[in-house]
Amino acid sequence: MTQAGEDAFSERLAEELVLLYLRLNGYLTLGGYLLHRPLDEGEGLRTEIDALAVRFPTQREPLHGGPWSQQANDPVLVLPADARVVDFVVAEVKTGRRQPRFNDPLLKEDADAQRNLEDLLSMLGCFGDQEDLHSAGTEIIRQLRSPPTGRPATYDLKDERTRIRFILFWEPQGQQTSNRHFIGISHVIEFIENRTRPGVACADYSRWHAKWRGLHRHVLEALDEASLAGRSLRDLASLCDEVLRRLGAEAADGW
């Protein structure tokens, strides 16, 4: 596989990891949401959103017959219980060395960016008033262009029961840092590994009889095997190599 191919696969794998991370934390997810161009502007896309997700304030995953009454969510992602809001997440996943940011069609200082963001917010279905929608788009663009310190771009609706957060997922290379708030891909992998490790509540998710398919199955089996062997696959590059190896072996076996 060429370097470009490996980079593209690494990005795809990171997106799948983030979708799984959101899912394990009680979010309903939609991956790869596309904003299409209007007919009079020709074919193509305005932009793509890696993931849309929503979690409701009383969400929990009960467990029965074990030492825990319910699955523990990740406080790095999930809002504290006293927030009591419907939590929408717009997620962007970055894997390169460049500083992470949302795509330019949501950031440019023109009417198109405002329209793109308002169309995206309309997809969430939480705005009943066009004026509120426009105000939200204006405020979110302001925050995306000038990121707040220590938190993602955030907008609370007037009803005080709904919050929208624009969260970046990224893995710094070496000594890289960012002035934008982000959740590290290595943290995502660590959470998934801990939740699916043999002997804990979600262990069956990575067993042969589980219903996982595609990349998620290969990811969980790779983490499972590494855990049993006392190894770590918590960096994206190592996990990517292992999943590619498994995909190659599967293809050779005729699956």
Rounded mean pLDDT, 11-20? 94
- CA 1/CA 6 separation, integer angstroms: 6
Task: Indicate the average pLDDT of the chain.
Answer: 86
Residue 229 pLDDT = 84
Rounded mean pLDDT, 149-172? 94
Indicate the length of the chain as a whole number.
255
Given a cut of 90, is residue 232 above it in pLDDT?
A: no
For the chain, give every domain's residue range: 3-252
226-229 long-range contacts (CB < 8 A, ≥24 apart) are 227/193, 227/197, 227/198, 228/198
Strands 162-170 and 28-36 come out as unpaired
Residue 195 pLDDT = 85
Mean pLDDT lowest for which of 14-28, 56-70, 192-206?
A: 192-206
Residues 6+ apart with CB under 8 A from 38: none
- The residue that leads in pLDDT, 227 or 3, is 227
- CA 224/CA 245 separation, integer angstroms: 15
- CA 255/CA 249 separation, integer angstroms: 9
| pLDDT tens digits for range 194-222 | 887 766 655 554 445 455 667 888 888 88
pTM of the full structure? 0.88
Given a cut of 60, is residue 94 above it in pLDDT?
A: yes
Given a cut of 80, is residue 234 above it in pLDDT?
A: yes
- CA 155/CA 177 separation, integer angstroms: 25
Amino acid present at 156: D
Residue 49 pLDDT = 93
| pLDDT tens digits for range 117-144 | 999 999 999 998 999 999 999 999 999 9
- CA 163/CA 54 separation, integer angstroms: 10
Amino acid present at 224: D
- The residue that leads in pLDDT, 207 or 248, is 248
Given a cut of 50, is residue 255 above it in pLDDT?
A: no
- CA 193/CA 216 separation, integer angstroms: 12
